[in-house]
Amino acid sequence: MTASKSLSLIFIIRFLLLTTFSVPSTHSRSPSQNDVALIRAICKRTPDYYVCVHSLRSDPTSSHADVRGLAQIMVQVMKGRANDAMQKIIQLLQKGTDPKQKKALSSCADDYKAILEADVPMAIEALEKGDPKFAEDGANDAALEANSCEENFAGKSPITPYNEIMHDVAAVAAAIVRNLL
């Protein structure tokens, strides 16, 4: 497969991951221009505007949320993406893979377990208690865990799109939280 075909495939998979797990908006009232403007303004301050807007708009409460609420939504998106990745890792481990890949996948399971059991709960609690620095740390740690998983493989991993979206969502969450500092 050529490099351009590989890159195109990654973008398609990433788009599918973003859209497959989105919650359709079913609000009783339309968001005001101010609600939409806040999302756009906050997302412009993140490393990935598209991931930010798409992720926030997938939650119907985002149209009425303040910055803290948007940060909380992104942390929940992180949790969802980590659960998606963990399910894929478990599925791949159950299929039976070669020992090197099994070892790398097991290490990834540990990375995603850390996201789900430490990073996300830390970010949620920190946002609830009004301590955005710890929430930012939790999101940044989640991005690092996704990178760590990817680095376990020689070349592309069988979960590259999951790692990429997890990293991107976590980086966006951290950037949103920084607005609270």
Domain hosting residue 46, numbered range: 3-178
* Span 111-128, pLDDT tens digits: 999 999 999 999 999 999
* Span 161-172, pLDDT tens digits: 999 999 999 999
Output the pLDDT for position 13.
52
CA distances from 88 to 14, 34, 117, 175, 179 (A): 15, 38, 17, 27, 33
**Count of domains for the chain:** 1
If you average pLDDT over residues 101-118, what whole number do you get?
A: 97
Q: CA 21, CA 40: separation in Å to the nearest integer? A: 21
Q: 51-90 b/e with 16+ CB inside 10 Å = b?
A: bbbbbbbbbeebbebeebbbbbbbbbbbbbbbebbbebbe
Q: Higher confidence at residue 8 or residue 145?
A: 145
Nearest to 166 by CA among 72, 81, 86: 81
Domain CATH number, residue 170: 1.20.140.40
Structure pTM? 0.82
**From the CA atom positions of the chain, what is the Rg in Å?**
17
